[in-house]
């Protein structure tokens, strides 16, 4: 019975379309006094099969995140949003307008992905480094 449960857990883990590796949150201060402070988020997405990123979202943030960067870590190529990503590792980066609450908050990054007709979401909690 115990072996069966272990096999089931391993099967479920291997069936995931993607998972998040290292995630980071940084405050970026402007180089000029008139510039604005922003929060930058980085995440490593590990794709277990070909997929597309449907959306990126952040808890505690009211605005939609429409601009995010995808870099294929296998070859350093910049990928387009909505482009089919093959199995491999990817670097996802996006920025958010600064709000004082982000200094101490733990935020959840959620990336929705789609492979064929199946959709899934991967999430990870991140705080300031």
Tell me the pLDDT of the chain (129 aa) as tens digits.
555 444 444 444 446 889 999 999 999 998 888 889 999 999 999 999 999 999 999 988 878 888 899 999 999 999 988 899 999 999 999 998 888 888 888 999 999 999 989 999 999 999 886
CA-only gyration radius of the chain, Å: 17
Q: What pLDDT, on a 0 to 100 scale, did the predictor assign at position 20? A: 93
Q: What pLDDT, on a 0 to 100 scale, did the predictor assign at position 12? A: 47
CATH number at residue 26: 2.60.40
Q: How is residue 71 written in tokens? A: 């870099």
Q: What pLDDT, on a 0 to 100 scale, did the predictor assign at position 5? A: 46
Q: What pLDDT, on a 0 to 100 scale, did the predictor assign at position 102? A: 81
Q: What pLDDT, on a 0 to 100 scale, did the predictor assign at position 2? A: 55
Please name the residue that has the structure tokens 């988020």: 41
Beta carbons of 121 and 18 less than 8 angstroms apart: no
In-domain check, residue 90: yes
Q: What pLDDT, on a 0 to 100 scale, did the predictor assign at position 60? A: 82
* CA–CA gap between residue 59 and residue 79 (Å, rounded): 25
In-domain check, residue 98: yes
In-domain check, residue 3: no
**Which residue segment(s) compose the domain that 45 sits in?**
17-126
Into how many domains does the chain fold?
A: 1
Q: What is the pTM of this model?
A: 0.82
Beta carbons of 45 and 72 less than 8 angstroms apart: no
Q: What pLDDT, on a 0 to 100 scale, did the predictor assign at position 13? A: 46
Beta carbons of 92 and 80 less than 8 angstroms apart: no
In-domain check, residue 12: no
């Amino acid at each position: 019975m115990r072996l069966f449960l272990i096999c089931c857990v391993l099967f479920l883990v291997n069936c995931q379309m993607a998972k998040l590796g290292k995630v980071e949150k940084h405050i970026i201060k402007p180089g000029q006094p008139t510039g604005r402070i922003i929060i930058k988020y980085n995440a490593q997405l590990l794709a277990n099969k070909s997929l597309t990123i449907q959306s990126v979202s952040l808890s505690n943030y009211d605005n939609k995140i429409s601009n995010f960067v995808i870099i294929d870590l296998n070859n350093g190529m910049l990928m387009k949003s909505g482009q089919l990503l093959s199995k491999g590792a990817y670097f996802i980066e996006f920025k958010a307008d600064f709000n004082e609450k982000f200094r101490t908050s733990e935020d959840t990054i959620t990336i929705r992905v789609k492979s064929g007709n199946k959709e899934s979401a991967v999430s990870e909690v991140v705080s300031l480094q």
